[in-house]
Structure 1
């Protein structure tokens, strides 16, 4: 049932002369919290398993349950709430996320914890689905690519800092403090959102396309295919970076590799933000080509720590800007239906993560870690072909 909501009369007018830095920074902080919460169990498997008297494999399902919640709930949640005022919906989503994340921090029952993770993933999917459209509503047209780059920065920073810090806290104090710390940060986030993010109206009823028609917009399917293949190529190697580094005779430690990748991703976000509004198609094809090159260097240069670190840096820079590029392309094509269209992105993203876990496990179990960058490069070549074929509908020249 569609419910028409009156436009938000408190919405702050878009100002063309500058970016709404404070609001966009708070949205980036939200992305940091979401990605840190999603990946936190991966760094705490032994501690959580021992505390809950279960296996590490079962605790590993905490990540799967979160991803499944995102896949199942994102599109219905965004579709049913696209008429709501954006700030109200944002605060409801953050508050719900806070509650279920706190349950994870306190629960002693595995089944309850898995259920909480599923619901947390559902709230996360809704928040990810609406962030891009909300950022565009409060940003002048000439700065929208940069706005999406700023909002996207929270994810790589969460990977680079959030998960390692949470792992350190869980190892030296207790794993529950890792999730509890995220809950405290979420409380601060709510206060910042209330103070700095302006209101914005939801989508008018007259402009709402049915879900199937949004999906059928020329170019949407091509963007989702690019997202899936790019994320699959990235995650297959990223999730199993430890087996690759064990095979690489002179590789860095896992901790160093992850920090280098995360910092490089932030650089990628900055580069993307600087040029995305002027050279979007060139940026996309250059990013994919250099991403493929990074995989080749990981394979051929595995005996040199310098080559491995250079490849990881190149990998991070080229992949870091990918979310902003895909959100910008999706938002351009879908117009007023950007919230619904962008809701497809986390679904494709998390399906690729699931597939990467299966594919990477098969490669590591049957070959060795050097197969990972080979597959990464092969998928990147396929990705380049998909993007080229969809260049007119999905990635038009600007």
Structure 2
């Protein structure tokens, strides 16, 4: 499953550095070509809850294989896409299984291990995504520069086929108690829980801090820090290494307490965002801060595990909505960062904006936690 998330993560971010080439080959402007990336994100948001609801009764092993097959087919189609409109439609299709795959894979991983190791199991699934930032994205970027963007999708397709084969061979059939088997009614039951919504809101807002900073790394490094373009790959690699380290370290904290992991990570996110703004003028200070900011990815398995605890028998939909929340955080964080720069506060101000988002996310989570304890006391 980690190999599959590596392929999915590589395919999701591969095109960002290659947009000018895509635009030239399709005869459109770069902003219009950017809609190809937006189409994928829209597919993630639409597909995550829709797939979980429509496939509520499908055995999870089979569902994972079906979702991976759709991912492979979508990327293979992108290799042959004759024009812009077709490519946009295929990227939307390829995004549909994304959130549902992550959600179901996390649930399957958690069921395969003792409860005390859930956090490490979930983080193990997400490790493919973090390693993709360090290895997969640079690799396909190099391939794309040398052979064109269609070769990128061909390589991602091969990765997906390899992951499909591994899962078909290795994934166990996790038995499900018929009395607690997933169903449409049970999955929709997740929407009645205030704790589910508050946890999702924590991610949608709090995770925005990391994306607010990450979206404008290059802008700050070039315009404020004053580095050369050759430093940018180093910064991106440090960001990716931070994600790998944060995912691994955060997993152990999740196994101690998902609640503690969320609180600690959001506090760290607030502090790192502030440091980003304060250190933006010094290359020797900003680079370590960038690496540490990547560690905030630890929030992803923490939120996923928290949702397993509060969603009762509707874990599939809750887990899928978690990935919708992350995409909302990505979009909102990027928008807020752009807004403060456009307002004239300087590119480094994205750090202060990111700190505000992380702090508000922490406040939402603490309010939800207090409400949960108050309800327990009343009972």
TM-score of the superposed pair, with normalisation by structure 1: 0.87
Within 1, Cα distance between the matches of 2:134 and 2:206?
19
Following superposition, the deviation at residue 281 of structure 1 comes to 2.8
Deviations 1:101-140 (A, max 9, x none): 1111221311000000001111212212312212122222
Choose from 349, 355, 360 the match for 1:371.
349
Q: Deviations over 1:128-164 (max 9, x none)?
A: 2312212122222221111111111122212222222
1:338 to 294, 315, 336: 315
The one of 202, 210, 226 aligned to 1:234:
210
The question of 1:260 aligning with 2:234 is answered no
Report what 1:101 is aligned to.
Answer: 75
Query: Which SS does the other structure have where 2:311 is aligned?
Result: helix
The yes-or-no answer on 1:307 pairing with 2:285 is: yes
What SS does structure 2 have at the residue aligned with 1:379? helix
Mark the CA change 1:113 to 1:340 in structure 2 (over 3 Å): closer, same or farther. Answer: same
8 Å contact from structure 1 (residues 84, 201) kept in 2: no
The alignment partner of 1:248 has SS state of: helix
| Equivalence map 1:132-143=2 (5 Å) | 132-143=106-117
Is the 2:209–2:273 contact (alpha carbons within 8 Å) kept by the matching residues of 1? no
Equivalent positions of 1:103-118 (< 5 A) are 103-118=77-92
In 1, distance between residues paired with 2:178 and 2:78?
Answer: 37
C-alpha spacing 1:73/1:249, structure 2 compared with 1 (3 Å): closer
Determine if contact 1:290/1:314 at 8 Å carries over to the other structure: no
Q: 1:79 to 1:58 in 2, by over 3 A?
A: same
Distance in 2, matches of 1:380 and 1:87, equals 35
Shift of 1:41: 1.5
Count the aligned residue pairs.
370
Q: Are the equivalent residues in 2 in contact too, given 1:291–1:314 (CA < 8 A)?
A: no
Residues 244 and 381 from structure 1, CA distance in 2 versus in 1: closer, same or farther, beyond 3 angstroms?
same
Q: What are the within-5 Å matches in structure 2 for residues 210-289 of structure 1?
A: 210-251=186-227, 253-289=231-267
Q: Larger deviation: 323-332 or 129-138? A: 129-138
The partner residue of 1:362 within 336, 339, 347 is 339
For 2:373 and 2:220, the matched residues in 1 are separated by 34
Could you tell me how far apart the structure 1 residues matched to 2:24 and 2:265 are? 42
Q: Which moved more, 1:229-238 or 1:370-379?
A: 229-238
**CA spacing shift, 1:359–1:235, aligned 2, 3 Å:** same
Work out the CA distance in 1 between the residues paired with 2:226 and 2:45.
38
Give the aligned partner of residue 173 of structure 2: 199
CA distance in 2 between partners of 1:125 and 1:202 (Å): 22
Give the C-alpha shift of residue 188 in structure 1. 0.8
Report matched runs for 1:22-37 at 5 Å.
Answer: 27-37=1-11
Assess, with a 3 A threshold, how the Cα gap between structure 1 residues 205 and 281 changes in structure 2: closer, same or farther.
closer
Pair 1:204–1:68, CA change in 2 (3 A): farther
Q: Which structure's residues are more often helix, by fraction?
A: 2
Maintained 8 Å contact 1:226/1:383:
yes
State whether residues 333 and 354 of structure 2, in contact with CA within 8 Å, keep that contact through their aligned partners in structure 1.
no
Tell me the CA shift for residue 184 of structure 1. Answer: 0.6
Which residue does 2:98 correspond to in 1?
124
User: Cα distance, 1:284 vs. partner?
Assistant: 2.2
The CA RMSD over aligned residues, in Å, is 2.2
Shift of 1:204: 4.0
Match of 1:324 among 292, 301, 306: 301
Is structure 2 residue 119 aligned with structure 1 residue 145?
Answer: yes
